[in-house]
Chain A
Amino acid sequence: MKIAIPIEEKNIETNVCPSFGRTPYFLIYNTDTKESEFIDNSAAESSGGAGIKAAQIIVDKEADVLLTPRLGSNAADTLKAAEIEIYKTKSGSAKDNIDAFIAGELSVLKEIHAGFHGQGR
């Protein structure tokens, strides 16, 4: 199984990034091989629609699960179309959250925000 996480730096002990669409990097962790892959998020520089583009990147990496503190509606729609499961991270590093997910301690992300494209709409 492949787990995707938005992260602030390219190592497994780094913090989870509070933004999904504009995170600088993603960690793709393979639970079968225990390998970590760090990828640049080319969506971060988008003028708009960053969440959709970031979701496309996650989908193309064939992730099965996304761990994120929050998510906008367009990104959520894209990930749901790809049947990717979305779980809410808790405090701690990317590694802590992977361990927590494997231990079944993370809950499904339920609150999807409207996105920041409307700027307060």
Chain B
Amino acid sequence: MKIAVLSGKGGAGKTLVSVNLAAVEQESAYIDCDIEEPNGYLFFKPKDVSVEEISVKIPVVDNELSNGCRKCVEFCNYNALAFIKDKLLIFDEICHSCGGCVLLCPEKALTEKDKVIGKVEKGASEQVTVYTGILNIGEASGIPIIDNLIEKSRSSDQLTVIDCPPGSACSVIESIKDADYCILVAEPTLFGVHNLNMVYELVKLFNKPFGAVLNKCLDGENPAKEFCIEKGIKILAKIPFDNDLGMLTSNAEIAARKSDRFKDLFSDLLDMVKKEAQNEAVTKS
């Protein structure tokens, strides 16, 4: 089973929920798809880390072979190519690696080369396999890294927790594509509600079963809770705004491994998610 953890903004508690869910399952996989700022590894401190470089294909030109027809320049939707003074200019960082220019070139003047955009690390933390995607600074798109991460999780039957990037853009869509269930983590603020709405619309669009976790809950009003009630979103758990939890997390400890109270909280959440996902599967079939 694959559980994706989302939120419309950073700092809502995706990683808190993700690492603790993977930890209470014990034998599981944790995948950090927040490739621009992965931080799950700070909690897991994985050992025996292996590294795989991730590259994309970008075009290279042999100007001797080019006849200057400009089919590639006209084709490129991202304007990554220009033809200046009988030479093709290629803007690597604009290229989206579609390969169209190479296919179109009648003179076969274009070939492809690998360009490294980041890496995937794999390590172990107790019985949790920890995968971390890391995009190199300055790269425009990390989708190929997320693709690689999701692909890796396909061969496993273990419970897999996917820690998504913040927001609701392509990288999140890529991260949830295999998910059996989505957890939306929300803060009890108006801003939190706005961001919850973004991911709520996203998971609805992709027909993913989902529920919400209300993080940083205090006594008194909780706009995120009101939003969930209004939209009929299942509230899976409420995580208190708690000094002990904050302290453990600030020290990069996994709360469920350090405290029975939080172990129970996240175990209950995991049970609830499993039950919900099963219900959804039954209803759908």
Binding site for B on A (CB under 8 A): 43, 46-50, 52-53, 55-56, 59, 74, 77-78, 81-83, 117-118, 121
Contact = CB atoms under 8 A, between A and B. Distances in A.
B79 A117 contact: no
Contacts of A74: 91, 94
Contacts of A78: 82, 84, 89
Interface of B: 73, 76-85, 87, 89, 91, 93-94, 138, 140
26 contacts: A46-B79, A47-B77, A48-B78, A48-B79, A48-B94, A49-B78, A49-B80, A49-B91, A52-B79, A52-B82, A53-B82, A55-B82, A56-B73, A56-B82, A56-B83, A56-B84, A59-B84, A74-B94, A78-B82, A78-B84, A81-B84, A81-B85, A81-B87, A82-B84, A83-B85, A117-B93
Tell me the dominant secondary structure on chain A's binding face. helix
A96 B137 CA distance: 43
Contacts, number: 52
Contacts of A52: 79-82, 89, 91, 94
B137 to A, nearest CB: 9
A50 to B, nearest CB: 7
A77 B83 CA distance: 12
Tell me the dominant secondary structure on chain B's binding face. loop
Contacts of B138: 118, 121
A65 B80 CA distance: 23
Contact of B94 (A49, A55, A59, A82): A49
A34 B85 CA distance: 26
A52 B83 CA distance: 10
Given A48-B79, A118-B138, 8 more contacts: A46-B78, A47-B78, A50-B79, A56-B83, A81-B85, A81-B87, A118-B140, A121-B138
Contacts of B77: 47
A46 B91 CA distance: 15
Nearest to A75: B82
